[in-house]
Amino acid sequence: MEIVNNSVTRLRNKAVTEYPKLVEFLKHNRVGNLAFVGDDGRPNQLPIAYGLVDEKVLLHGSTAAGGLRLVADGRAVSFGVSRTEGLVLARSAFESSMHYSSAVLFGNFKVIADNAEKDLKLQAITEFLFPGRGAELRSNTKKELAATLVLELELTSWSFKVSDGWPEDGESDLELDIWAGVVPIETKFADPIAAPDLRAGLQSPPSYISKWRP
């Protein structure tokens, strides 16, 4: 399989070309942005949870979901995963920026049609999104499987950019009387909140949650 690393046309110093770094980034996120051209010819998008399984992006959702159903026909898509990781306060507005990581994948989704395969992929998505939880949950029912669309995208064409540097002020701005630096943005889990209808005797959230990355 040919792996094409699309050229990042600007800020080449920020382009990450190593495939393992792309995979690592996708492994540590869980929501992406599915962009596609609607039947009206106009661009549309939706945020959606994904699983990275066997180095392929898996989406799932209701067979009634508009956007997912559209891209199931194999039309061209882009799938973006990004994080804003900090504010870069330079000494001028012009040089002010952000710390971020941004992966954009290009290609076409393939429908996982076979029910047994669909079930396995859904289990793998659950394990990706909620590690450890799948072993506790009941199996998917036939009705649930029939109501669920599972789509798969290979990582054949992509770009990946990471911006994590210091402010890059020009020489003449360095003497200005203005603080400069980075304000990091962190994403964290807060304490789990039990559902109001939780069964008696089940007040402690499962321990595997503590290992999850937000």
Looking only at residues 43 through 82 of this chain, which bind its own copies when binding is defined by CB under 8 A? 43-47, 49, 62, 64-66, 76-78, 80, 82
Binding segment toward its own copies, per CB under 8 A, in 19-27, 51-59, 110-118, 205-213: 205-213
Handedness of CA 56, 132, 27, 69 (dihedral sign): positive
Residues 76-115 that bind its own copies (CB under 8 A): 76-78, 80, 82, 84, 87, 89, 91-94, 96, 98, 100, 102, 104, 106
Q: Minimum distance between the CB of residue 164 and its own copies, rounded to whole angstroms?
A: 12
Q: Which is nearer to its own copies, 125 or 152 (CB)?
A: 125
- For residue 20, the Cα-to-chain-centroid distance in whole angstroms is 16
Residues 136-165 that bind its own copies (CB under 8 A): 136-138, 140-141, 144, 148
Q: Minimum distance between the CB of residue 151 and its own copies, rounded to whole angstroms?
A: 15
Binding segment toward its own copies, per CB under 8 A, in 16-24, 51-59, 109-117, 122-130: 122-130
Which whole-number Å values give the CA distances from 84 to 24, 97, 135, in the listed order?
17, 11, 33
Amino acid letter, residue 113: A
DSSP string, 84-142: EEEEEE-SSTTT-EEEEEEEEEEEE-EE---HHHHHHHHHHHHHHHSTTTTTTSPPPPH
Q: Can you tell me the distance from the alpha carbon of 213 to that of 194, in angstroms, rounded to the nearest whole number? A: 19
